[in-house]
């Protein structure tokens, strides 16, 4: 029995570095994919606007307008949702206000806070992005091979990763 236990322990010890390496490879691979997917999403949006002959907004601004949607939000709320870095939000909101895509209004209770909402022009851009996503849904499973269950598992895993990273920052782990 001692020999069998010793062999089992050796096998377990030998597999541990391989498992660790596989976990690291998978984790690093996932991190790279997250970055690549975000860039590709922006390219898909850019391509859609180019097909429509629209050069009045860039893909980051179009996605920002889509994420504002029907809400009235602050730059801090958009940043807090995790979509953008603070400077990126402020810069792009300023440009979008100047171009007439976004209304902005100082809060009556806190003069430092500015609430933004879409103008009709901004809603048009948001609608373009929404129609793009709706069109993609029509072929996601057949062409992309991505089923509803796949997305559910992906979303659960991404949510766990988001929570893990948030805890790393919050609790300085």
Phi, psi of 162 (to 5 degrees): -60, -45
Is the pLDDT confidence value at 1 over 70?
Answer: no
For residue 109, what pLDDT band results from cuts at 50, 70 and 90? confident
- Which domains can be identified in the chain, with CATH numbers? 32-140 (1.10.10.10)
Residue of higher predicted confidence among 53 and 80: 53
CB 64 within 8 A of CB 92: yes
pLDDT digits (tens, 9 = 90+) for 78-108: 887 766 766 788 899 999 999 999 999 887 7
Dist. CA 127–CA 113, nearest whole Å: 27
Side by side, the strands of the sheet bearing 102-106 are 73-74, 114-118, 102-106
45 near 59, Cβ under 8 Å? yes
Q: How far apart are CA 9 and CA 15, in angstroms?
A: 10
Cβ proximity of 66 and 126 under 8 Å? yes
Q: What does the alpha-carbon distance between residue 51 and residue 53 come to, in Å, rounded to a whole number?
A: 5
Q: Which two tokens stand for residue 146?
A: 């991505």
The pLDDT assigned to 82 comes to: 66
């Amino acid at each position: 029995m001692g020999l069998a236990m010793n062999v089992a322990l050796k096998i377990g010890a030998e597999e541990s570095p391989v498992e660790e390496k596989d976990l690291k490879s998978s984790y690093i691979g996932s991190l790279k994919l997250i970055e690549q997917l975000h860039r590709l999403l922006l390219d898909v949006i850019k391509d859609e606007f180019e097909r429509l002959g629209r050069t009045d907004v860039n893909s980051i601004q179009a996605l920002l307008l889509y994420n504002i949607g029907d809400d009235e939000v602050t730059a801090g709320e958009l940043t807090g949702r995790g979509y953008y870095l603070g400077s990126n939000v402020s810069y792009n909101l300023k440009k979008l206000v100047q171009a007439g895509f976004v209304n902005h209004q100082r809060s009556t209770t806190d003069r430092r806070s500015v609430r933004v909402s879409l103008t009709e022009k901004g809603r048009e851009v948001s609608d373009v992005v929404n129609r793009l996503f709706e069109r993609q849904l029509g072929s996601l499973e057949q062409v992309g091979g991505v089923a509803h269950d796949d997305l559910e598992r992906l979303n659960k895993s991404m949510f766990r990763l988001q929570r893990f990273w948030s805890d790393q920052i919050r609790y300085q782990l």
